[in-house]
Amino acid sequence: MSHYLIPGLLGPDAASGLLNYAIANEARFQETTVGTDARVKHTARRSRLLTDIGPYRDMIEKRVAKAVPELIDRLGLTPFQATGFEVELVAHGDGAFYRRHIDVFTGSDRAPGDAAADRLISLVYYLHREPKGFSGGELRLYPQIRPTDISPEGGIDVVPQHDMAVAFSSWLPHEVRAVTCPTGQFGDARFAVNCWVLRQRAASSQSAK
């Protein structure tokens, strides 16, 4: 299975609380970047980011940690022991997007050292006002031929739904389709928590240079 949907990941009360937290902290959001050297690249990605989501981070990590065995099974991944998480909250307003990419860092973007961890599972948790104040913003998942190949055609679109999460392999090519938000108000944006399940890198993976 290329992806797995999880309706009601946090439940209505926590989802509403996290959405209100995001809107109340508008001033703290910063421009998103690309790569480990934190480049702002508007031709590839346009959105805003908040890494501090207060008490909701622990809540999300616990829910995702509990789901990891099922996610591994559903996605057909080789079993592994999760050693940590990355979590961020992203707002996609009018004109925002993220071009086709994978979530695994490769080449010069890959952190060196045996202590580094790699992303194996990507989970996106959606939040938005109801009714929606935006259109578009679908997560398009592309077919994968080999780990480093990105198919230029085809794909499955996942439509954002409040309090729903979608999980997929971090190697799977994907993009965020362009968002249209007529009011331009921050509170009407497409909000999403990105959570990556990490595995500590084995020392043997550093032997090949």
Mean pLDDT of 15-42: 94
| Surface-to-core class of residue 200, CB atoms within 10 Å of its CB (0-12 exposed, 13-18 middle, 19+ buried) | middle
Place of tokens 């590839």: 44
Using DSSP bridges, classify how beta strands 45-46 and 97-101 pair: parallel, antiparallel or unpaired: antiparallel
Helices (H) and strands (E) in the chain, counts: 2, 14
pLDDT at 205 over 50: no
Please give the structure tokens belonging to residue 170: 């971090």
Query: Please, what is the average pLDDT of the chain?
Result: 91
pLDDT band at 137 (very low <50, low <70, confident <90, very high): very high
Domains of the chain: 3-31+46-200 (2.60.120.620)
pLDDT at 151 over 70: no
- The reply to whether the predicted model has a pTM over 0.85 is yes
